[in-house]
């Protein structure tokens, strides 16, 4: 939908501050100049609004305030909580109140933008991010944000749906409880669009994406562009003429072969593209620029063009990189040059997975999971020197707690998912923040949440000290023989791995409580942790192998239990080196001194805890 309002000003003001929000998202324009977009994602109880000083965009006389607002309905990304489509703009002072959203605003439904179904092959990979968009240039209102776009016709008076209410208001007229967005604007930087590596239907266009090429009438052409590395960006395609042509942009992390395998990402011979896409239908005008509402992720971008009765001039393709505006303040140096590319790849990955929330993947899910986010937050502290996105995550997970007391596994999210073990990792996240940042009040504000999480687990600690069988999805790692990421347990529970994660959370919470909260509770946590530690070693230690088993039945072994057992000193110190040597003998070339049973190997994700055990 498009919203607009005209305001008259006698002179350009020194400041003109507006608070803006929408459900799902908005892009704000003032006098055809893009001001910003938002809001950052949260939930209805903490709905974000953005604040802008639009004075630099204003002028004496008539000014046009305009906003594109969209809600993708049933195809809304899973990370997007929503009530219904809506738009809010509120002036901070009396002068700015002339801009407030009220019946003087006009609205039109933009029939030139439609959402398309996600391809089945992409959906099977659990794609729940931004959907495919189709922009029909023959229908799109190209002048919607201008004063010359006329009145009447599709423009209607906007319909108020209740006053905006900040969190804590006495009365609420709708479900959006407003809070100021604590995050900075996301980065928008023009970057290289890559290079053409393959074309069909036309010769490889020289100089494209920077220079133009033409597709003749009644033709089909394909142009494959390699960005050389993954990016998260808005593609901006400019075309001229060619009324009736269709241009499809397909985005992929890598090309696939006939068996659906990616293989070497640099190879393109015998491979094709498969992925989410956007489509643009051209109207024949000069210099039409198409950009999807949502950013996309790709290394490879393919243009599939089919023309009608007119040739299409493809003028240029530009790429606007977007992500959280981290700056690299921490650095790594080594006389081993082979390590530098690893550092660069790691930092680039951290950036691509950080936007208005952290993300497990920027392509498929874009979900903020506690397990991933804990590690990402540590990178933000140590390399980025910025704790605003970690604060957002910690608070979001705390706000996600269900009546039982534990957190959801991912948040914000429109679909409830519970991984109780991630609640334990959230306690670790709070402790990490306390260790790396100087804000005890923020940590103290999380204590109600950490207490409810640990109370839930303490109720499930067996008499022998181990945990009972945990409901929902007690995921730990995608181990090859873990049942959907869940380590083995006996009929009544007794997972050493999950109990060890419980021990970690108890020790961390005890430290925080002793310093900032309830010293008596800190003692209870230490007592429960000691009881659990003794139970793990007594019931799960196998004398023959010199390793911790995954349950008291001692039929299954994993690197996971022994990594945590070493790190948390549940295994006596004098035995820790031998344990690490044994578990690494199955994955890293170490030589064990005794028999080693089959071991489930830790994935890259869980090897973060191996690094801590080795420290």
- Report the candidate in 167, 202, 221, 206 with the shortest Cα–Cα distance to residue 46: 167
Cβ count near 69 (within 10 Å) = 22
Residue 254 within a domain: yes
Let me know: does 451 contact 521? Beta carbons within 8 Å.
yes
| Domain end residue (candidates: 303, 323, 343) | 323
Residue 291 within a domain: yes
Let me know: does 470 contact 479? Beta carbons within 8 Å.
no
> Is the predicted pLDDT of residue 525 greater than 70, yes or no?
yes
Let me know: does 449 contact 396? Beta carbons within 8 Å.
no
Average pLDDT, the chain: 96
Same domain? 223 vs 176: no
CA distance 34 to 310: 32
CA distance 508 to 506: 5
Same domain? 217 vs 93: no
Give mean pLDDT, residues 559-579: 98
| Domain end residue (candidates: 323, 340, 365) | 323
CA distance 472 to 114: 37
Number of domains in the chain: 2
Written as six digits, the tokens of 322 are 């977007």
Q: Are strands 106-108 and 246-252 parallel, antiparallel or unpaired?
A: unpaired
Say which residue the tokens 């075309």 belong to: 239
The predicted-structure confidence for 313-356, as pLDDT tens digits, reads as follows 999 999 999 999 999 999 999 999 999 999 999 999 999 999 99
CA distance 564 to 195: 46
Same domain? 165 vs 300: no
CA distance 88 to 430: 33
Residue 440 within a domain: no
Residue 250 within a domain: yes
Domain, as residue range, for 89: 2-108+154-182
> Predicted confidence band at 164 (pLDDT cuts at 50, 70, 90)?
confident
Same domain? 167 vs 237: no
Give mean pLDDT, residues 436-450: 97
Residue 247 within a domain: yes
Share of the chain above pLDDT 90, in %: 96
- Report the candidate in 154, 116, 151 with the shortest Cα–Cα distance to residue 135: 116
> Predicted confidence band at 163 (pLDDT cuts at 50, 70, 90)?
confident
Same domain? 98 vs 178: yes
List phi, psi (to 5°) of 102.
Answer: -160, -175
| Domain end residue (candidates: 297, 323, 349) | 323
Q: Omega of the bond prior to 165 within 30 degrees of 0, cis?
A: no
Q: What is the pLDDT of residue 152?
A: 54
> Is the predicted pLDDT of residue 491 greater than 70, yes or no?
yes
> Predicted confidence band at 148 (pLDDT cuts at 50, 70, 90)?
confident
Give mean pLDDT, residues 8-22: 97
Residue 95 within a domain: yes
Same domain? 236 vs 167: no
CA distance 509 to 525: 7
The predicted-structure confidence for 594-606, as pLDDT tens digits, reads as follows 999 999 999 999 9
CA distance 383 to 387: 11
Residue 35 within a domain: yes
Same domain? 159 vs 231: no
Q: What is the pLDDT of residue 153?
A: 65
Let me know: does 2 contact 141? Beta carbons within 8 Å.
yes
Give mean pLDDT, residues 76-86: 96
Q: Are strands 277-281 and 132-136 parallel, antiparallel or unpaired?
A: parallel
Same domain? 18 vs 161: yes
> Is the predicted pLDDT of residue 92 greater than 70, yes or no?
yes
> Is the predicted pLDDT of residue 151 greater than 70, yes or no?
no
- b/e burial code for range 37-50 (CB count within 10 A of at least 16 → b): bbbbbbbeebbbbb
> Predicted confidence band at 52 (pLDDT cuts at 50, 70, 90)?
very high
> Predicted confidence band at 586 (pLDDT cuts at 50, 70, 90)?
very high
DSSP letter for each residue of 464-495: TSSB----S-------TTSBTTBPP-BTTB--
The predicted-structure confidence for 551-562, as pLDDT tens digits, reads as follows 999 999 999 999
> Is the predicted pLDDT of residue 281 greater than 90, yes or no?
yes
> Is the predicted pLDDT of residue 83 greater than 60, yes or no?
yes
Residue 317 within a domain: yes
pTM given for the model:
0.96
Q: Is 57 helix (H, G, I), strand (E, B) or coil?
A: helix
**C-alpha of 558 from chain center:** 30
> Is the predicted pLDDT of residue 577 greater than 90, yes or no?
yes
Give mean pLDDT, residues 145-151: 75
> Predicted confidence band at 150 (pLDDT cuts at 50, 70, 90)?
low
Q: Is 421 helix (H, G, I), strand (E, B) or coil?
A: helix
Same domain? 201 vs 315: yes
Same domain? 76 vs 23: yes
Q: What is the pLDDT of residue 154?
A: 86
Q: What is the pLDDT of residue 144?
A: 95
List phi, psi (to 5°) of 497.
Answer: -65, -50
Q: What is the CATH number of the domain that holds 169?
A: 2.60.120.260
Same domain? 312 vs 168: no
> Is the predicted pLDDT of residue 250 greater than 80, yes or no?
yes
Which of 157-161, 234-238, 544-548, 578-582 is least confident? 157-161
Same domain? 243 vs 176: no
């Amino acid at each position: 939908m498009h919203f607009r309002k005209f305001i008259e000003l006698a002179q350009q003001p020194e400041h003109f501050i507006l608070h803006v929000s929408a459900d799902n998202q908005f892009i704000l324009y003032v006098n055809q100049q893009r001001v910003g977009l938002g809001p950052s994602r949260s939930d209805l109880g903490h709905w974000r609004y953005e604040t802008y000083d639009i004075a630099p965009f204003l002028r004496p006389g008539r000014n046009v305030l305009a906003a594109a607002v969209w809600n993708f309905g049933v195809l809304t990304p899973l990370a997007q909580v929503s009530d219904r489509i809506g738009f809010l703009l509120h002036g901070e002072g009396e002068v700015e109140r002339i801009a407030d959203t009220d019946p003087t605003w006009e609205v039109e439904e933009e029939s030139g933008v439609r959402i398309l179904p996600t391809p089945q092959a992409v959906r099977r990979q659990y794609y729940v991010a931004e959907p495919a968009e189709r922009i029909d240039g023959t229908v799109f209102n190209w002048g919607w944000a201008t004063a010359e776009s006329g009145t009447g016709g599709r423009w209607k008076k906007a319909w108020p749906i209740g006053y905006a209410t900040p969190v804590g208001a006495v009365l609420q007229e709708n479900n959006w409880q407003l809070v100021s967005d604590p995050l900075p604007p996301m980065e928008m930087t023009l970057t290289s669009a890559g290079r053409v590596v393959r074309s069909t239907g036309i010769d490889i266009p020289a100089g494209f994406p920077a220079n133009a090429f033409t597709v003749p009438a009644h033709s089909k052409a394909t142009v494959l562009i390699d960005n050389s590395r993954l990016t998260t960006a808005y593609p901006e395609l400019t075309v001229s003429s060619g009324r009736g042509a269709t241009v499809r942009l397909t985005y992929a992390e890598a090309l696939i072969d006939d068996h659906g395998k990616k293989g070497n990402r640099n190879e393109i011979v015998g491979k094709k593209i498969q992925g989410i896409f956007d489509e643009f239908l051209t109207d024949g005008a000069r210099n039409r620029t198409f950009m999807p509402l949502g950013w996309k992720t790709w290394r490879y971008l393919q243009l599939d063009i089919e023309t009608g009765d007119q040739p299409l001039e493809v003028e240029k393709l530009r790429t606007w990189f977007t992500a959280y505006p981290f700056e690299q303040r921490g650095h790594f140096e080594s006389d081993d040059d082979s390590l530098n590319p690893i550092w660069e790849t790691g930092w680039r990955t951290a950036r691509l997975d950080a936007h208005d929330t952290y993300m497990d993947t920027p392509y498929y899910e874009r979900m903020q999971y506690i397990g991933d986010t804990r590690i990402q937050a540590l990178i933000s502290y140590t390399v980025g020197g910025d704790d605003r996105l970690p604060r957002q995550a910690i608070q979001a997970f705390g706000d996600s707690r269900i009546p039982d007391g534990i957190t959801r596994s991912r948040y914000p999210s429109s679909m409830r998912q519970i991984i109780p073990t991630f609640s334990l990792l959230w306690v670790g996240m709070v402790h990490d923040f306390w260790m790396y940042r100087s804000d005890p009040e923020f940590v103290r504000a999380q204590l109600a949440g950490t207490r409810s999480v640990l109370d839930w687990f303490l109720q499930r600690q067996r008499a022998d000290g181990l945990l009972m069988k945990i409901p929902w999805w007690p995921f730990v790692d995608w181990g090859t023989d873990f049942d959907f990421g869940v380590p083995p347990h006996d009929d009544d529970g007794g997972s050493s791995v999950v109990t060890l994660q419980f021990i970690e959370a108890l020790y961390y919470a005890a430290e925080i409580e002793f310093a900032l909260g309830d010293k008596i509770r800190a003692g209870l946590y230490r007592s429960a942790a000691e009881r659990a530690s003794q139970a793990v070693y007594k019931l799960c230690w196998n004398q023959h192998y010199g390793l911790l088993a995954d349950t008291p039945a001692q039929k299954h072994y994993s690197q996971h239990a022994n990594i945590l057992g070493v790190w948390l000193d549940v295994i006596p110190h004098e035995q820790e080196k031998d344990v690490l040597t044994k578990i690494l003998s199955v994955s890293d070339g170490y030589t064990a001194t005794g028999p080693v049973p089959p071991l489930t190997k830790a994935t890259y994700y869980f090897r973060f805890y191996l690094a801590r055990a080795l420290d």
